Amino acid sequence: MDKMTEFKEFVKDKPELVRYVHNGDMSWQKFYELYDLYGTKEEIWKPYQKETKVEEKVKETTSFGVGEILGWLKTVDLDSVQNGISSMQRVLGVLQDFGNKETATTPEYKPRPLYKHFED
């Protein structure tokens, strides 16, 4: 295996490096040079791993709690929700009527006998 494929395998094990490249803090070239010089030594890669642990803690603390959900529900305008539901019900009713009229109201065609004139 050449050095480049080894580096690609290393990056697959450390997905937090991708964030540094996407943010513009580092480039793949710089990461590859570090990997080429130092290999997989933990001391070199520790600064790039700490931020992900901090980000995970931030994500845990920003999860929604019951208090936030109740606060959000207090701000919801129930009249507008009710108006939206009733308009959707009307639309569904019209669509149901349209579908039912096509199948139910078509009378069967009976041809008039040839020998009958003016309802004789």
For residue 100, being part of any structural domain is answered with no
What is the CB neighbour count within 10 angstroms for residue 19? Answer: 14
- Write out pLDDT tens, residues 6-62: 888 888 888 888 888 888 888 888 888 888 888 888 788 888 876 545 555 555 555
Q: 22 in helix, strand or coil?
A: helix
For residue 116, being part of any structural domain is answered with no
Give this prediction's pTM: 0.41
For residue 72, being part of any structural domain is answered with no
111: left (phi over 0), alpha (psi -120 to 50) or beta: beta
For residue 47, being part of any structural domain is answered with yes
- Write out pLDDT tens, residues 80-93: 899 999 999 999 99
Residue 48, domain extent:
3-61
For residue 7, being part of any structural domain is answered with yes
Instruction: Please return the burial class of 31, using the count of CB atoms within 10 Å of its CB with bins 0-12, 13-18 and 19+.
Output: buried
Answer whether residue 111 shows pLDDT above 80: no
pLDDT at residue 52, rounded to an integer: 47
For residue 43, being part of any structural domain is answered with yes
For residue 95, being part of any structural domain is answered with no
Higher pLDDT, 22 or 114: 22
For residue 92, being part of any structural domain is answered with no
Six-digit token pair at 93? 């009713």
